[in-house]
Structures are given as structure tokens and as C-alpha cells.
Amino acid sequence: MVNAEIQKIIDLCAKDEACKSQLTELISSLIAKSESSHSNLRLLEAAIRADYDSILITDMDLESPGPTIVYVNDGFTKMTGYSREEVIGKTPRILQGPKTDRAVLDKLKYSLLNGKSFFGQTINYRKDGSEFVNQWDIHPLVDEFGRITHWVSYQHDITDRKRSEQSVINANAEQDELYEDSHKTYVDIAENGDIVGANKSFRELVGINKDELKSMKIWDVMPEKFGNLLKSNFKQVYHNEFGEGRVYNLMLKGTDGLPVQVEIETKLMNLTTGTFMRGDIRNLTLRKRVINTLKKRNTFYSQLFERKVDYNYGLILDDTNRFRFKWISDGFKKVTGYGVDECLNAEGWDKIIHPEDKDRVIEHIQAAFSGRSTTMSYRIVTKDGNIKNVLDYAKPDKKDANGEVLAVVASTIDVTNRKESTV
């Protein structure tokens, strides 16, 4: 609905009552669409707030004076001290200063010029001139023809983390309580590939206890093909690349034996007990899910922001033609009570579907495997035996050379205590 001020302008400009009615209807529609876009924006920002401090979107012009900022979220203004009005139309270079690492910026520009994503960190400056360590995760946004139109940058202020890590470097790595109980995932590797230390999070990721790990090499906790490749090049990689603090994608063996894709940021640790490489490991599941959603479903930055779902999952048909979870997001346990690892097996999908709804749900999933997006409400049975109502949106994912669907991805919302009609 238009406000009194806008209505007054319409009344002055309209030549007759018919025009006035049409203008009022048109502007009311535009206002409704604008409010809907802002609502969607707030929903996604709320969904990823725990993972990113700031979101910034620029156009694709990388030449001097640099790309132009077209969007920043509230997290950006809090992190930098700049208001939206002060940065829209400016270049992100306003955050750079004397200690900003030129080498990192050169790598950033090289990646973007070649249409590639970039992950890195350097010192940036807030509006008041104070320093902070900014970590970027930048990805291209493409239109329906696959052409890059914008760049979206997810940013962390990791200043406190860097201070904590420096404290860890100056302590005994094996006995450090912060290291052992950290929510982050760490593994320490010697020059010959020995695992000389790993915190609880890493041991749980690969399903191996502390004593067993100490007798293993890093390639022993990787799938055979990837492990053999790293083993054959490890000495050269260790000195020439790992020692430079780079970021890599690796495959590890999860507790169920299935590959787990991770990102590992490396650095050399020089302690009184010796020198080794520490790997800071991050599971890529959540980040890839968000980024793939942005790439596949949206062609313009104002349409990037969707509502939060309770969990996502991927589904395949196994050798016995049964549906099987390929992967499940972290929210799964909150809704079902089952840990992700408890359901990444042949029986995992079957045991959460209510028996009376199973035939309907099978038809729902088969529709996605046939190439259609589909939405359905049905019941699930939680680990403690309770019944929950969920709304499930499924669509085809991977296809083979003949166009046959090999996998389905889906988003699920617990609507037991909510009124929901769409995903």
C-alpha cells in the first residue's frame, strides 16, 4: 500500500481517475516486490550469520579504480564502521592500507581475472583507521548464459583467531587445552608424513583414536587413490607448498569409510619440541551448499537471498535400487535426533520415513529422479520415536552423459509447530 506522500504525488500527476487508479496499483505492486526482496535478503542473512561476518557484492570490473560495490549487508557495516551510503558505488580498496599484503591482492586479482573463486586473508582497515585481519571467500555470480555478472565476497574478521593461534604457537602443542577441545579441526604432520598430533575434532572426523593416529601417516587417513598421490609427492609438497601457508582441498576417510572433502590451511610450527606442519581443517559441506544454491538458483544479486531450511541432503540409488543418503547437513540431528553418521548407510533413509507415508514419499523422490522439482509434506519418525511433520523440496542434481539423473538434492523444513506452504 502506498503512503500518503506517494499518493499525493500520484494525485498531482494523474490526468484522470483511471490513470490515478492504474498508477496506484502499479506502485503498490512495486512496493510489495521490494518488501519481498528485502524479506528474502534478511532471511538468508539470518541463515548464514553464524558462518560469515559480512557479505559484499561488486560488479565485475577489476581495472582501476577497481570493482564497484553494489551491495553490503549489516554485518559489513558493523565490521568496518562504514555505512551503506558511504560504500555503495565505491571500491573495496577503501579498506586497504599500509599493511595490506600486496602479494595476496595480486593472487586475488589473478584468480578473479581468470573467473576463479578466491580464498585468502590480509590486514584491512576500518573507517576509524584501526586494523583487522580480513578473511575472504569470493565467488563469481553468473547469469543464465553462464557469464559472470558480479562477485560475491563472504568475509570474516579473524583478528581474535589470529591472536589465539599465536598463543598456541608459543605453547606446547601436545598439551594445549585450547587445541584439544577447540571446535576447530587440527592435525599436526611431521616432515616424513607422521601424524604427530591431532585434536579431538579431527579424531572424530576420521574415527581413529589418539594412540592409533600416532602410528599413522597423513595419507593413511585418506582414500587410497588420493593417499597414494600425496605420498608420492609429499616431501616436495611439504617444503615448497605446505610451508608457505597455502590452502588446499583434500579428501579424508570419514568414520563410515566414505570420502569427506575438506579444506586445509597449512602453516609451519616452530616449537622447542621440533618443527612440524599444522593443518587447520574445515569441512566444505555447508559452504558448498550455500554457494551452489546461490549459483544455480539466482542470476541477479537481489535474488540471492532465500529462507533458511532445517537441513539439506543428497540422495542416490545404491546397487540394490534403494534410496540412500549421500550426504546430510548438520541441521539433521536437531530435527531427527540422529547423528549424520548414523544415517549415511543403506538403512538410513528408510528408518526416518513414517511407514504409512513411505509409498507417497517414494513417488516424491522418484519424481525428482525423473527430472522434476517436487514439494511434499509428510511425516518422519525421530530417534526417540516422536512423529514430526516436514515439508520437503527435492530436485534433480547430477546427470550422466545421457541425461539420466544420478542424484537428487533436497531441502527439508520441520513444520510440526509451524504453518508452511512453500520452501
pTM surpassing 0.75? no
Using the predicted structure, report yes or no on whether residue 129 has a pLDDT greater than 90: yes
CA distance 275 to 266: 13
CA distance 250 to 160: 27
Structure confidence at residue 225 as a pLDDT band (50, 70, 90): confident
Strand intervals (E) in 199-258: 247-253
pLDDT digits (tens, 9 = 90+) for 331-387: 899 999 999 999 999 899 999 999 999 999 999 999 889 888 888 889 999 999 999
Strand intervals (E) in 17-108: 54-59, 69-72
Structure confidence at residue 180 as a pLDDT band (50, 70, 90): low
Strand intervals (E) in 184-310: 185-189, 195-198, 247-253, 259-271, 274-283
pLDDT digits (tens, 9 = 90+) for 227-247: 888 888 887 777 666 655 677
Residue with grid cell 570490473, as numbered in its chain: 61
Contact indicator for 366, 359 with CB cutoff of 8 Å? no
Structure confidence at residue 200 as a pLDDT band (50, 70, 90): confident
CA distance 199 to 180: 4
Q: Indicate the angle between helix axes 17-48 and 4-13, nearest 10 degrees.
A: 140
Using the predicted structure, report yes or no on whether residue 65 has a pLDDT greater than 80: no
Q: How far is CA 403 from CA 200, 409, 410, in A?
A: 43, 16, 19
Q: 414 vs 44, which has greater pLDDT?
A: 414
CA distance 137 to 112: 12
pLDDT (mean) for 103-123? 87
Q: CA angle, 46 as apex, 44 and 51 as ends, to 5°? A: 90
Model pLDDT, residue 45: 59
Using the predicted structure, report yes or no on whether residue 329 has a pLDDT greater than 70: yes
Query: 56 is written with which cell numbers?
Result: 559484499
CA distance 180 to 182: 6
Q: How far is CA 112 from CA 102, 145, 325, 338, in A?
A: 15, 18, 35, 41
CA distance 111 to 118: 6
Q: 283 vs 205, which has greater pLDDT?
A: 205
Query: 170 is written with which cell numbers?
Result: 608459543
Using the predicted structure, report yes or no on whether residue 122 has a pLDDT greater than 70: yes
Model pLDDT, residue 124: 93
pLDDT above 70 coverage of the chain, percent: 79
CA distance 171 to 397: 47
pLDDT (mean) for 204-211? 86
